[in-house]
Structure 1
Amino acid sequence: MKNAIITAATKGIGRAVSVAFAKQGINLSICSRNEQDLLNFKQELQAINPQITIVALVTDCSNRTELKKFAEFTEKKLGFVDILVNNVGMYKHVAILNDSEDSFQKQIDTNLMPAYELYRFFGKTMVSVGKGHIFNICSVAAINPIAEAGMYSVTKYALLGLNKVMRLETQGHGVKVTAVIPGSTLTDSWKGVEVDQNTMVLPEDVASAIVNILSMSAGANVDEVMIKPAPGQL
């Protein structure tokens, strides 16, 4: 039975991936900033598959100390982590010239730092054991920057760059690294905006892609997978 760690697991893509993994019989370590959401979701996952082990810890992933505590907690409770899903992220719809003073650091700490730190924590063990798969949830903003979401585009661009470096560092050691690049996806970032879900990528579509990638043969790696709305970006 494989073990997976998923950051920001109670909403959006993280939630869909957690549900898909539970159905696949994968043990889970999940986190969220909201304790009640986390407890409710843990129960929901356990009901989906009573056979798997699920551990959960309240964590603000933008806080390096809390993030490392979550990593240590996961390793202690589950042992070797086969799958790392760097999902946590924040979207801010504002141009860089109009952005707040703290936005640069906040978005670096949320969209980039957790993937970097968890890679350093779990990647060394994966390399020494000779197996493992890391998924970094990027964004099409990493390929086509959005002027109205300036710092978000910069951090997602950096995450895609980090993904490429991770892959180069680990590919000779049996570890796979995949950048998942979704377009307009129906998550909480769209709260309050009227949208037609039939013109968007659903979190379940992203989860489905990840499950399919995991089922591939040992010799195959999907470097990048881009999933965009069928009618084009919103």
Structure 2
Amino acid sequence: MKNALITAATKGIGRAITIALAKEGINVAVCARGEKDLADLKAELFTINPNMKIFTAATDVSVKAGILKFAADAEKELGAINIIVNNAGIYEPFSILDDGEDTFQKSINTNLAPAYELYRYFGKKMIAAGEGHIFNICSVASLNPVVEAGTYSVTKFALFGLTKVMRLELQAHNVKVTAVIPGSTLTSSWDGVAVDKNVMVLPEDIASAVVNIYKLSPGANVDEIVIKPVNGQV
């Protein structure tokens, strides 16, 4: 069985991807901040696949020591990690001029640094194995800045750039890297806002894309995939 590591896995896109991978018979190492949410997810996953291995860790991925401990513990519990899904992120709905004093560093530490650190930790191991697939959950803000979320846009541009560098460094070693670029997706970030789910991308849409990209033949890769609402951004 293959082993996947997913950050921010208890809600939204991360949760949907975790469930989709479990349905494919893939073991998972998942992290989030909440112990109860992780326990609930673990119980749900066992109902889907009672024979799978699941490692959970309450982790603040914005702290370098935390993300590296999660990586090491996941590897110890499951064995070699074959799939990485960098899903952690925060959205601050402010222009850069209105940011708080800590917004930039907090956004870098959450939206960019975990993907960088996990790449540094697992990249050479995937090269040695001659296989692996890294999915970075970017955003349409990686392509076109959102003026009311300036620092978020900057960090997502950076994540998209990191994804391209990772791909170039790994492609000669049969390790795949994909940028997943969602538009308006119905996650908890929309809580309290009256929206019609029929005009939104659903987390399950993103999960379906990730699984199908992963299942491509060994010689094929999707470098990047943009998934937006059919009627345009909400």
> Which TM bucket (shorter chain)?
over 0.9
In 1, distance between residues paired with 2:167 and 2:175? 8
* Deviation for aligned residue 1:47: 1.0
Code of the residue aligned with 1:90 in structure 2: it is I
Code of the residue aligned with 2:157 in structure 1: it is Y
Structural mapping, 1:36-75, within 5 Å: 36-75=36-75
Code of the residue aligned with 1:15 in structure 2: it is R
Determine if the alignment matches structure 1 residue 134 to structure 2 residue 134.
yes
> Can you list the C-alpha shifts for 1:29-55, whole angstroms capped at 9, x where unaligned?
001100011111111111111011011
Code of the residue aligned with 2:38 in structure 1: it is L
In 2, distance between residues paired with 1:155 and 1:188? 20
- Counterpart for residue 35 of structure 2: 35
Determine if the alignment matches structure 1 residue 123 to structure 2 residue 97.
no
- Counterpart for residue 192 of structure 2: 192
Q: In structure 2, list runs of 5 or more residues that go unmatched.
A: none
In 2, distance between residues paired with 1:53 and 1:20? 15
Code of the residue aligned with 2:13 in structure 1: it is I
- Counterpart for residue 167 of structure 1: 167
Divergent runs of 4+, >4 A: none
* Deviation for aligned residue 1:189: 1.1
Code of the residue aligned with 1:129 in structure 2: it is A
In 2, distance between residues paired with 1:156 and 1:189? 16
Determine if the alignment matches structure 1 residue 217 to structure 2 residue 211.
no
* Deviation for aligned residue 1:7: 0.2
In 1, distance between residues paired with 2:167 and 2:83? 14
Normalized against structure 2, the TM-score is what? 0.99
Q: Give identity over the alignment, percent.
A: 64
- Counterpart for residue 106 of structure 1: 106
| Secondary structure of 1:195's aligned partner | coil
> Can you list the C-alpha shifts for 1:195-231, whole angstroms capped at 9, x where unaligned?
1110000000000000110111000010000000010
| Secondary structure of 1:201's aligned partner | coil
- Number of aligned residues: 234
Code of the residue aligned with 1:125 in structure 2: it is K
* Deviation for aligned residue 1:188: 1.1
| Secondary structure of 1:121's aligned partner | helix
Code of the residue aligned with 1:198 in structure 2: it is N
In 1, distance between residues paired with 2:150 and 2:227? 21
